[in-house]
Structure 1
Amino acid sequence: MRDVELKEHERLDDLMKSGRKIIQNTQEFCFSLDAVLLAHFPRLHPRQKVLELGTGTGVIPLLIADEAAHIEAIELSPVMAELASRNVYMNELEAKISVREGDYRAIREIYPAESFDVVLANPPYRPVAHGQVNKMSGVARARHEFTATLEDVVKAARYALRFGGHFAMVHLPERLGEILVTMHEHQMEAKRLRMVQPKAGKAPNMMLVEAVVGAAPGGLKVMPPLIVHDEDGSYTREILAIYGMTGAGTKDTEE
């Protein structure tokens, strides 16, 4: 790993994966559990070419770099695209990961059609209601559909994917019906679904869904729920394994 100089408001975090680290800017949107879960959800193969729509800090490409042939990552924000590029450089992964500043709503101007085997997306979750725009900033804005809607994300994924390619996304359970319909309208059918629950017995607050281009309708595999916390607030063994952590569970203060 190369040495880098941190800028104001930046910190260096350990990804606990192949010795990799990641720079995050505390004034910008930092990655959280949803990105880590998405990185571990699809079954990747060493010869696959992967595209991530909206990479942010570049955490997902860093986590999956050992499992794919090449990863392209596109990011709209110039600040975040530059940070993701620095993270790739710091981890000496330029031969494996390419970060591009750009708008995936204009993906036809950026990549050839049907040129990827897998597309990943951790998109903004919530539609923007009337009157919300001037009330939100920072993280809240990053979680709302200011720059890309669900339709935009699915449409871009379908354009990029070859026939038989896989699209994996993390999103809100409350939008499952809308997501399945939108995927179907763009020639994709959901084949794997996993709900994420904060604790056993609690309603899910995230979900992971994977669709296949050109697949026949039906055959959706609903996996057992992924439980994040034990009753004492520590991470479950499965979450610890995903994070690459061993030993006793650790308390998570993030809600």
Structure 2
Amino acid sequence: MKLKLLKNDETLDDLQLNGICIIQKREAFRFGVDAVLLANFAKVKSKMKVIDLCSGTGIIPFILAGKTNAEHITGIEIQKDMVDMAKRSACFNNMKQRLEFIHKDLSDLNFMNSLSKVDIVTVNPPYKLKNSGIVSKDDKNAIARHEICCTLEDVIKAAKSVLKDNGKLYMIHRPERIVDIMYIMRKYSIEPKLMRMVQPTINKAPNMVLIEGKNNGGKFLKWEAPLAIHRENGDYTEEINIIYGRNESDKNGNR
């Protein structure tokens, strides 16, 4: 009966996490390592309430639900078909009591301000500035990668509107946007507290940055040691294998 939740152009992907599976389009935007890293970076404690902005098909809420004892996780996403997939994934995994997915524009501050305040906001937003670079011909991919439906400031403003005092924002972005990120976070009194650069391999420059910000927090920033995804020989690093829950036989990423 559960397989009836799957449409012909979709796949059901096993997250290798407590039997959780997620529905995705075969050809449209699919989650990557950035979402997995962000879900692992977020410090979500028991009974906390979480909102995930730019939630897509819900990958971050599903990983958080599998790894933490968060009381409730809400995903907000502007693309209706993504929300539909996330809702069906919640049904498939019997998680409708803990996970909720809402089709809304996060720049609608009237809506955002109507939500209950939460302990944690996570967001894996579009990285690329609007009108920068070559935009994908596939609108869904373009929306996921470019600031078409929301800007970095829209994202941080939305996070501010739903965070409790001293609540935390966790975001993954690109290092080349770090000045914008820190400037806009401070503009809305979300103080950058912790950053970690992510390198594709040990000896390459970072291509992602993980950020923790605290709503109305004091001015003090710490850096964690960089995280490398691959060793020089192309194998995953030990830390990545741990994050993905791989055992010794899976060191090279095979399952």
- Determine the C-alpha separation between the residues in 2 that align with 1:77 and 1:180: 28
Task: Give 4+ residue runs of structure 1 displaced > 6 Å after superposition.
Answer: none
1:9 aligns with 2:17: no
- Give the corresponding residue for 2:188: 186
Over aligned residues, Cα RMSD in angstroms? 1.9
- Determine the C-alpha separation between the residues in 2 that align with 1:112 and 1:199: 43
Give the conservation status (yes or no) of the 8 Å contact 2:112–2:158. no
Where does the alignment leave 5 or more consecutive residues of structure 1 unmatched?
none
- Determine the C-alpha separation between the residues in 1 that align with 2:195 and 2:38: 12
- Give the corresponding residue for 2:45: 45
* Greater CA drift, 104-113 or 133-142: 133-142
TM-score, normalising length: structure 1:
0.92
- Give the corresponding residue for 2:242: 241
- CA offsets 1:82-124 (integer angstroms, 9 cap, x no match): 0011111111001101111111111432553661110000000
Q: Pick closer, same or farther for the CA change 1:107–1:73 going to 2, 3 Å.
A: farther
Give the conservation status (yes or no) of the 8 Å contact 1:114–1:163. no
- Determine the C-alpha separation between the residues in 2 that align with 1:157 and 1:38: 16
Q: CA deviation at 1:135?
A: 5.8
Matched to 1:224, the amino acid is A
TM-score, normalising length: structure 2:
0.92
Q: Pick closer, same or farther for the CA change 1:134–1:122 going to 2, 3 Å.
A: closer
Counterparts of 1:75-94 in structure 2 under 5 Å? 75-94=77-96
Q: CA deviation at 1:140?
A: 4.1
Give the conservation status (yes or no) of the 8 Å contact 1:188–1:213. yes
How many corresponding residue pairs?
Answer: 250
Counterparts of 1:4-153 in structure 2 under 5 Å? 4-5=3-4, 6-65=6-65, 66-112=68-114, 115-129=117-131, 137-153=139-155
Give the conservation status (yes or no) of the 8 Å contact 1:233–1:251. no
What secondary structure does 2:147 align onto?
coil
Q: Pick closer, same or farther for the CA change 1:161–1:84 going to 2, 3 Å.
A: same
Identical columns (%): 39
Q: CA deviation at 1:28?
A: 1.8
Name the structure where helix makes up a greater proportion of residues.
2
